[in-house]
Amino acid sequence: MLKRVAIFKALDIEIKKQRGSVAAKGNYRGHHSLKEELSQGTITIIAEVAGGSPGLGKTRSNFKASTHAKSLIENGAKALSIATDKFLYFGDDKGLSETRSQVKVPLLRREFIFEEYQVEESKILGADAIFLMPALLAQSKLVDLHKLAVAKGLDVVFEVTNDEDIKRSIEVGAQIFCIVGRNLENWNPNYDKSITLIKKIPKDSLIMFEAGINRIVQVKHLHALGVHGVIIGDALLDDFYPGKRLASLLKGEEPPVKKIPKVKAAPTPVVTPVATKVAPAATKVAKEKISSPRKDTGSRKPGTPAHRTPSTTARKGKKEPIMAKKKAAKKATKKVAKKATKKKAAKKATKKKKR
């Protein structure tokens, strides 16, 4: 999956460079520090605003990011992760810039950052922080992107999935770590394995956790382990009202079980007999035909079809001539006809002679 991300983003960045980012027309409206929010002593709820995720696919279409953002803040979110990646999170740049103009909480840009151009763009869009993923970047590029982001006044969150990612992030000077509780190749959750990474992060750092958070019990458990903030994403994606879903999650309510609508079986068609008026005479004839057996039934010989209609002679009660007799009779009539024609010819010949 990470290889595909790199290919998609490389093409996307080139297209943006050629035509110019739509977001570049906007103006940045102040900085809201994610680092300060995570340092409050309580666990920070960071809600994600996206049209889908790599695990669930696209779950929303034509949604307004700013509307969802305001609803999430009203129901307990202290910061927001706004998706601008359109390939795996189904977001766009416009969603971030519009949200920035309407809310006053820290905004993380949910984007796969590969180039300096994207860091500059994040600042213009109104982001307060960006994600950098060591698994996607060479160490030299990781250093350069981090330096530029800090110079632009952006907080940098390093997404880590293993010991190697943590080590490389520490070398760069990371202060905020986000443990990704998923396998990045197939996006399957691995919560229990991921929480073991918490102890390996420096104690003076700020720790976030993302993926698989859908119950308040998990939030409390992570806070007890030393986590400063959690990103809640997939748990909100399958609900049309993510703000209400977040509020119920923070209250400790179980996620609603969506009932699968029962498909009603098609009713069996009832065939209603059509009443027809039959003439009395017709019914009488029909009864007689049914009750009285055929006269020739008993006389039928083997090999003769049962459905053969009886001839006129048979209906009169006489025996039908055998086929051989019929043929002989035909031959006899032909002979008689020939003799008659010969006699006529002989008579004509005698008349001519007399003349």
Evaluate whether residue 113 is within a structural domain: yes
The reported pLDDT for the residue numbered 285 is 47
The reported pLDDT for the residue numbered 8 is 80
Residues 6+ apart with CB under 8 A from 94: 22, 23, 65
Of 47, 50, 31, whose CA–CA distance to 92 is shortest? 50
Evaluate whether residue 141 is within a structural domain: yes
Evaluate whether residue 312 is within a structural domain: no
Q: What is the CATH number of the domain that holds 115?
A: 3.20.20.70
What are the tens digits of pLDDT across the range 211-229?
A: 999 999 999 999 999 999 9
Evaluate whether residue 271 is within a structural domain: no
Residue ranges of the chain with pLDDT lower than 70?
A: 21-30, 256-329, 350-355
**Phi/psi of residue 153, each to 5°?**
85, 20
The reported pLDDT for the residue numbered 261 is 42
Evaluate whether residue 106 is within a structural domain: yes
Q: In 10 A of CB 336, how many CB atoms?
A: 10
The reported pLDDT for the residue numbered 290 is 47
Per the listing, tokens 């039959």 go with: 278
Considering its fold, how many domains does the chain have in total?
1
Evaluate whether residue 329 is within a structural domain: no
The reported pLDDT for the residue numbered 181 is 94
Evaluate whether residue 310 is within a structural domain: no
Per the document, the length of the chain is 355
**Could you give the dihedral angle defined by the CA atoms of residues 347, 352, 354 and 355, in that order, rounded to the nearest 10 degrees?**
150
Q: Which domain holds residue 194?
A: 32-251
The reported pLDDT for the residue numbered 338 is 73
The reported pLDDT for the residue numbered 264 is 46
Q: How far apart are CA 314 and CA 300, in angstroms?
A: 11
The reported pLDDT for the residue numbered 21 is 57
The reported pLDDT for the residue numbered 335 is 74
Residue 165 region, left (φ>0) first, then alpha (ψ -120 to 50), else beta? alpha
Check if the beta carbon of residue 29 is closer than 8 Å to that of residue 101.
yes
The reported pLDDT for the residue numbered 188 is 86
Q: How far apart are CA 336 and CA 339, in angstroms?
A: 5
Evaluate whether residue 110 is within a structural domain: yes
Residue 76 region, left (φ>0) first, then alpha (ψ -120 to 50), else beta? left
pTM for the whole structure? 0.70
Compute the half-sphere exposure of residue 207: CA atoms within 13 Å on the CB side of its CA.
24
The reported pLDDT for the residue numbered 89 is 95
What are the tens digits of pLDDT across the range 100-130?
A: 999 999 999 999 999 999 999 999 999 999 9
